[in-house]
Amino acid sequence: MTEKMKKFNFLMLVVAAFCFVGCDTGKKEVSIDADVYHQSMDQLSEVIVHDIFSPPIASRIYAYPSVAMYEILALDNPQYKSLAGQLNELEPIPKPTEEVSYELAALEAFLKLGTTLIFSEDKMDTYKEELYAKLGEGVNSKYFEASVAYGDEVAQHILKWADGDMYKQTRTFPKFTVIDDPARWQPTPPGYFEAIEPHWNQIRPFVLDSANQFTPERPTQFDMDKNSQFYKETMEVYNTGVNLTEEQKEIASFWDCNPYVMNVTGHVMAATKKITPGGHWIGIVKIACKKADADPMKTAQTYALTSVALADGFISCWDEKFRSNLIRPETVINRYIDEEWLPLLQTPPFPEYTSGHSVISNAAATVLTSIYGDNFSFRDDTEEKYGLSVRSFDSFTQASEEAAISRLYGGIHYMPAIANGVTQGRKLGEFVVNKLEFTNESLSKK
């Protein structure tokens, strides 16, 4: 054998030995684009609908996984700042001790937290198993496993943070006591459900200093004298309801977002599950990100900012609902004006003032505008899967204003709850935008 052939054979042995040690590994890239994050958020929304979480709880479920996803990606992107020290009581996440895919770790943290916070864990597990089978094709197994392990580590860090928000404690608090007072909230038909989350103002806010930071003006005082302001506001709801146009009916239905609607026909009762108000705006986040061709980092930023604004919006709104404890239009109209009158939408089970949709929609619209601008037109197909048509908007603000007025068309709110709810939501959204810094320059200054 010639010296040249010996050198060649030796080189082949070195290559073979390298492959024997490292070929288990394959490539060290995991192909994850923004669409994977959108699909995973869609999956979480589907499970939230399936498990029938109330709107406040759903907002909490969206927020923690979104923050975890953002924090991991920001750790690998020096242009973005951590939210640790900005969100209440959030400590910096641990750093990886070995080489990982931050994109995969962010996905894992999102899915791990999402699975922990819902009931139907099998649905999330099945989704992840199928997704990871595709993402892991040809990828270094140790690299893939290390990335997933790091995502789990961060998920545990965020879960520990979540455990301190008083959610678990409020599960043991007493139910809301209905007062025999004509001005106070009473359970409404057809289900006559008890009030949802009367202690939600005890939940630790994400950005707000306190639940009552943006307490709105006092609602109109209950007074059924025909010359009173309250009577006029009640009649406005009644007259709007009996004279609805087809467009108004479509708007009310589009923004209904009631997670559990009871349909009663004679003695037959069936239930319809739908997306929550917060879930609708999470759907709008996806629409905006895709139209703007946002990369994974920008996508995570948008989900994180919107989800914490939604979560704090519910805390602020629920604080007022159970302080003012105002009776719903349906109860007043049936008792004093027309016992046969029914609102177009089913009245949700909690006090009237302020309008939750008005608060959270305007909070979400404010933060989305801070990212994508005032004149961001879009087609909202979020409700299409629930049999509703697509609606088009010239801006997030326009969409939020339509969401707010939809509650009058639906017959479930007086106008002060809507108008003051809009103001409450916008002030809250502006506070979130001005307080949080995602990059070296505050979003509010961009």
* Residue 436 near residue 205 (C-beta atoms within 8 A): no
Residue 297 forms part of a structural domain: yes
Look at the chain and report how many structural domains it folds into.
2
* Residue 213 near residue 316 (C-beta atoms within 8 A): yes
Residue 46 forms part of a structural domain: yes
Same domain, 245 and 313: yes
Radius of gyration of the chain (CA): 25
- For 265, the token pair is 């026909």
Same domain, 141 and 262: no
Residue 429 forms part of a structural domain: yes
Same domain, 189 and 162: no
Residue 6 forms part of a structural domain: no
pLDDT, residue 179, reads: 92
pLDDT, residue 60, reads: 98
CA 225 to chain centre: 41
pLDDT, residue 268, reads: 56
Same domain, 155 and 287: no
Residue 389 forms part of a structural domain: yes
Residue 397: in which H helix or E strand, if any?
A: helix 396-409
Residue 241 forms part of a structural domain: yes
Same domain, 199 and 119: no
pLDDT, residue 356, reads: 98
* Residue 425 near residue 363 (C-beta atoms within 8 A): yes
Same domain, 243 and 162: no
Angle in degrees, CA 27, 298, 44, rounded to 5: 80
pLDDT, residue 269, reads: 57
Strand locations in 193-350 (E): 260-265, 268-273
CATH number at residue 300: 1.10.606.20
| Domain termination site, one of 99, 133, 168 | 168
Residues 165-220 pLDDT 10s: 999 999 999 999 999 999 999 999 999 999 999 999 999 999 999 999 999 999 99
CATH number at residue 162: 1.20.144.10
Residues 9-43 pLDDT 10s: 433 333 333 333 344 556 778 889 999 999 999 99
Same domain, 34 and 155: yes
- For 230, the token pair is 């309250």
Measured N-to-C along each axis, helices 277-291 and 55-75 cross at an angle, to the nearest 10 degrees, of: 30
Same domain, 323 and 251: yes
Same domain, 196 and 335: yes
* Residue 436 near residue 304 (C-beta atoms within 8 A): no
How far, in Å, CA of 289 to CA of 349, rounded? 33
Residue 1 forms part of a structural domain: no
Same domain, 192 and 307: yes
Count of CA atoms in the C-beta half-sphere (13 A) of 338: 13
Residue 4 forms part of a structural domain: no
Range of the domain at 49: 30-168
- For 218, the token pair is 């006092």
- For 195, the token pair is 């009030």
Same domain, 189 and 88: no
Report how far apart the first and last C-alpha atoms of the chain are (Å, whole number): 71
Determine the longest span between alpha carbons in the chain, in angstroms: 113
Same domain, 39 and 188: no
| Domain termination site, one of 142, 168, 194 | 168
Mean pLDDT in consecutive groups of 10 residues from the start of the chain, 446 residues: 43 36 61 96 98 98 98 97 98 97 98 98 98 94 97 98 98 96 97 97 98 98 98 98 98 94 64 92 98 98 98 98 98 98 97 98 98 97 93 98 98 98 98 92 45
Q: Which residue has the tokens 């900005």?
A: 86
